[in-house]
Chain A
Amino acid sequence: MNLPQNSSDAVPAPTVAIVDYGVGNLFSIRQACIRSGLQPLITSDPAAVTAAQGVVLPGVGAFGTAMEALHRSGLDAAVTDAVCRGVPTMGICLGFQLLMLESLEFGRHRGLGLIDGVVLPLRELVAVPSASEGAASRRTKVPRVGWGVVHPPSTGGVTASASRWEGTYMNGLVPGGAMYFVHSYGVRLANPATLLAVTPWAGGEYCSAVQIGRLFGCQFHPERSALQGLAIYRNFGDEVRSFAVTGDRQHIASPLQARAGVGGAS
């Protein structure tokens, strides 16, 4: 591998495929990638996703419709393959939910099965108290729209510190900072060890970020979360650049593969 000898041999910015399956504000994700020194490519071509050094899976809208669109285009296989090859990948909002085993939104839908978790309506995920009579009570509104606190999960009653985020795409972020949420469904993980961040809401809390190897997923929109959100893109960018240079191939078994007894460390 030829490394640059001087500044005039600058390594071209690695390509990040932003998966386009018809929904989501891809423009802002593209801008955030550019800000992080990446070369974004908005694409619905599975071959382009396969060739990219990083992948962003965005999304807004219905889970079932999205999975159908991903499957029709072959993008589901391309994204799954990239993740299992250890390509740095970010799933955002619905894109995060699509990484799960299944969703219970409007029936039961299979997801990409890359993370062992299930997607549920927010009012089920967090036991929201029903609005009682009286002037003092206010209805809890869904979709949840607005800024929410994000912090590392506490385990065994001990509040986790920022060190939980070291080495992840949330490295260097301030615990308790706010990110922008806009969603009606959320994720419940089977394995709390992969939980990277939680968010309080309506008297409870739920999963707002997960990282397994180079696969990251977040319920909030980092490209809509001002400087804190852009910091996630910067960390992602660093990881993509590192991956593009070293070509370090990880092999990650998805939960589906693990259950089938397929895959493992290469």
Chain B
Amino acid sequence: MTAIRIIPRLDIKGENLVKGIHLEGLRILGRPEVFAQYYYAQGADELLFMDAVASLYGRNSLLPIVERTARDLFIPLTVGGGLRSLQDFSDVLSAGADKVAVNTAAVERPALIAEAAERFGSSTIVVGIDAKRAGDGDWHVFTGNGRDKSSRRVLDWAQEAAQLGAGEILLTSVDQEGTGGGYDIALTRLIAAAVDIPVIACGGAGSAGDVERVLSEGQADAVTCAAMFHYAAVSILGSGVGEESTVGFRVLAERRDYGRVQPTGIPELKRALCAAGYSMRMIQDDHGAPLRPATEAAQ
């Protein structure tokens, strides 16, 4: 099979990396640039930055973070969250991002996808889709960070987005996000089997087993994980988090309040997936990053 991708997702509010905690709101974990460098060194295949509250605070602090991160990062960086126009995309790409993720603005005006694909190249445009189970066994597309139900059904929208020129789909389960209870396998498989472009599964990763399931049964081409990586990272990066001691970090470190999430490092996850037969890039000293298993030629 084609090499799969492991993509840490960093939700950013202002200058901070944050994590939504069920019933508690957002916890500050530290500085995005520090976590980004750590994940790069640990073998992340790409990084995803999502601006958590862009619509409320504008984007003044996101662009400098993108720039500071991109300066020392030599893996692809996707940035999304509240991006609404070609100018927004251009600003983010000029700051050092390789791809932009667009969600609400595309649902509201699908032609934006075609315009962006024409201007920046299809492979630059990731269409984010937030999906929530409807009462009828189907999934509806939600906008506004998973708050507002649109009239679109997820399969139709995903296929339309692909036809309009999306390079990839970032598919988030609103039901599973933040629970650590695993990805929405049925949702992922429905979309992955229906479009010819890569599908990135998002929302709910709690363990290596969850990742393995969404890759096999869900047929995802790539996965994002947030809490699973961040909770493992805080115990390593504790001293590097920043001068201000963050309440969220202390709470996490002291209470170990991870819910169903099992803190997992990227190397640990990749070794487990490798053992299960998946092909992906593995870091090996400084001189190369061969894919394991050794070759894709057999597929």
B-contacting residues of A (Cβ < 8 Å)?
23, 25, 27-28, 31-32, 60-62, 65, 94, 138-149, 173-174, 176-178, 180, 182-184, 200-203, 205, 221, 223-231
Give the complex CA separation of A32 and B288 in angstroms. 17
Which residues of the other chain, B, contact A226 by a CB distance below 8 angstroms? 40, 74-75, 289
- Whether A31 contacts B70 by the Cβ 8 Å rule is yes
Contact pick for B290, options A62, A149, A225, CB 8 Å? A149
Instruction: List residues of B (91-120) whose CB comes within 8 Å of A's CBs.
Output: 93-98, 118-120
Q: How far is the CA of A178 from the CA of B291 in the complex (A)?
A: 6
Contact between B294 and A62, CB atoms less than 8 A apart: no
Write out, one digit per residue, whether chain B residues 1-23 have a CB within 8 A of any chain A CB (1) or not (0): 11111000000000000000000
| Chain B residue nearest in CB terms to A129 | B299
Contact assessment for A146 and B2 in the assembled complex, using a CB-CB cutoff below 8 Å: yes
The stretch from B48-56, B146-154, B191-199 touching chain A is: B191-199
- At the interface, yes or no: B132 with Cβ under 8 Å from chain A? no
A139 & B196 in contact (Cβ 8 Å cutoff): yes
Residues A60 and B40 in contact in the complex (CB < 8 Å), given A147-B5, A148-B296: no
User: Does B173 make an interface contact (CB < 8 A)?
Assistant: no
Residues of B within 8 A of A145 (CB): 5, 123, 167-168, 198, 221-222
0/1 string, B47-91, CB within 8 A of A gives 1: 000000000000000000001001111111000000000000000
Is B71 a contact of A138 with CB atoms below 8 Å?
Answer: no
The secondary structure that dominates the B interface is loop
Residues of B bordering A, CB below 8 Å? 1-5, 40, 45, 67, 70-76, 93-98, 118-124, 167-168, 192-193, 195-199, 219, 221-222, 280-281, 286-291, 294-297, 299
Interface pair B121/A23, CB less than 8 Å apart: yes
Residue from A32, A145, A182, A225 having most chain B Cβ neighbours under 10 A: A145
Residues in chain A near residue B73, CB distance under 8 A: 28
Chain A to chain B contacts (Cβ below 8 Å), 28 pairs: A23-B120, A23-B121, A27-B70, A27-B95, A32-B74, A60-B123, A62-B118, A138-B1, A138-B192, A138-B219, A142-B196, A145-B5, A145-B198, A146-B45, A147-B45, A147-B291, A176-B290, A176-B291, A176-B294, A177-B287, A180-B76, A182-B76, A200-B295, A202-B2, A224-B74, A224-B76, A225-B75, A228-B288
Given contacts A32-B74, A182-B76, contact A201 B289 (CB under 8 A): no
In the assembled complex, the Cα of A31 lies from the Cα of B122 at a distance in Å of 24
**Cα–Cα distance between A26 and B13 once the two chains are bound (Å):** 26
A146 touches B3 (CB 8 A): yes
Known: A25-B98, A227-B287. A141 touches B2 (CB 8 A): yes
Q: Which B residues lie within 8 Å of A176 (CB)?
A: 288, 290-291, 294-295
Work out how many contacts link A and B, with CB atoms closer than 8 A. 151
A148–B291 contact, CB under 8 A?
yes
Chain B residues with Cβ below 8 Å from A182 are: 76, 98, 123, 167
In Å, the complex CA distance between A231 and B288 comes to 10
Q: Chain B contacts of A62 at CB under 8 A? A: 118, 121
Q: Which residues of B contact A184 (CB under 8 A)?
A: 122-123
Complex CA distance for A27 and B124, rounded to whole angstroms: 15
Contacts of A148 in B (CB 8 A): 3, 291, 296
| Chain B residues with CB below 8 A from A149, complex form | 290-291, 295-296
Instruction: For B295, list chain A residues within 8 Å (CB).
Output: 149, 176, 200
**A142 contacts which chain B residues (CB < 8 A)?**
196-197
Which residue on chain B has the smallest CB distance to residue A34? B71
CA distance A223 to B96 in the complex (A): 11
Kindly state the separation between the CA atoms of A148 and B280 in the bound complex, as whole angstroms.
Answer: 8
Query: Is the beta-carbon distance between A141 and B196 smaller than 8 angstroms?
Result: yes
Please tell me if the beta carbons of B297 and A205 are within 8 angstroms of each other in the complex: yes
Within 8 Å CB of A229, what residues of B?
74
Closest 5 CB pairs of A and B: A174-B288, A61-B121, A177-B288, A147-B281, A60-B121
What CA separation (Å) do A61 and B125 show in the bound complex? Answer: 11
Query: CA of A235 to CA of B98 in the docked complex: distance in angstroms?
Result: 24
**Min CB gap A38→B, angstroms:** 15
